[in-house]
Amino acid sequence: MVNGVRQTTSGVVLTSSGVAQTVVSGGGPTIVDDYEDNDLSEYSNPGAYTTQTGTVYEGTYAVANTGSSNNQFLYSTSGLPAYPQQGDTYSAWAHDYDGGIPEVAYGVQGSSSYYSMTVIPDSDEIRIRKETTDLASNSSVSLSQGNWYECVMTWATDGSMLFEIYDTSGTKLGDVSTTDGSYTDGGIGLRNGRGGNGCAMDYARIL
């Protein structure tokens, strides 16, 4: 029920009489998860991930792993209001802790099958990865540790994938693209790409 309430932010409008009317399509971005329900019941492998209030992009809560000793992967393939697929543009905000590498996953089939938008602030690098294999990388993106970055994936029906990264001012910092047809849809998640350091994610949407 809480998810249903949150979804009304974008999925329901009020008529002049004040009656809620569901918008089936064209109603703007759909929130996949903003973590405002303060639980991870829709996710597998929560491990060291928790909802928390200390490092948040939007609202009161975000999900974070503040320093697990391994590459834990939190993911969801059912239970959230929507999941991105080819033809969609998926956006999520990612944050590192002291050298952590957030891997914003999409197309998740399970714990060992997924794509990710990978952010490596200490080497000014972004990558599109399939599992732990780099499909494409750009190492000339000006990034710094301890910031929120918006990761936007334009996932086309021909399998092309464009990853654009923005700062909190809305300035585009760089992009990288590739084409791969292994997965056409799937779940979302967040992988801790560098064990010993953590990462956070918030405000995941289909734009």
Give the total residue count for the chain. 207
Q: Does 34 bind Ca ion (CB under 5 A)?
A: yes
Q: Which C-beta is closer to Ca ion: that of 128 or that of 199?
A: 199
Q: Does 37 bind Ca ion (CB under 5 A)?
A: yes
Helices and strands, number each (H, E), in the chain: 1, 16
- Selected binder of Ca ion within 11, 31, 35, 88 (CB under 5 A): 35
- Alpha helices for the chain (secondary structure H): 2-11
x/- map, 59-88, Ca ion, by CB under 5 A: x-x---------------------------
> What residue type is 129 in one-letter code?
R
Distance of CA 59 to the CA centre of its chain: 16
Least separation in angstroms between residue 2's CB and Ca ion is 7
Q: Does 185 bind Ca ion (CB under 5 A)?
A: no
Least separation in angstroms between residue 44's CB and Ca ion is 13
* Spatial CA neighbour of 207 closest among 164, 145, 158: 164
Two tokens at 68? 């697990």
- Selected binder of Ca ion within 91, 202, 204, 205 (CB under 5 A): 202
Two tokens at 94? 């990612």
Count, residues near Ca ion per rule CB under 5 A? 8
Query: What per-residue string of b and e applies to 27-66 under the rule 16 or more CB within 10 Å gives b?
Result: eeebbbbbbbbeebebbbebebbbbbeebbbbeebbbbbb
Q: Which C-beta is closer to Ca ion: that of 58 or that of 98?
A: 58
Q: Which C-beta is closer to Ca ion: that of 36 or that of 125?
A: 36
Q: From CA 1, how far away is CA 176, in angstroms rounded?
A: 38
Q: Does 39 bind Ca ion (CB under 5 A)?
A: yes
Which residue of this chain has its Cβ atom nearest to Ca ion in the complex?
Answer: 59
* Binding region for Ca ion (CB under 5 A): 34-35, 37, 39, 58-59, 61, 202
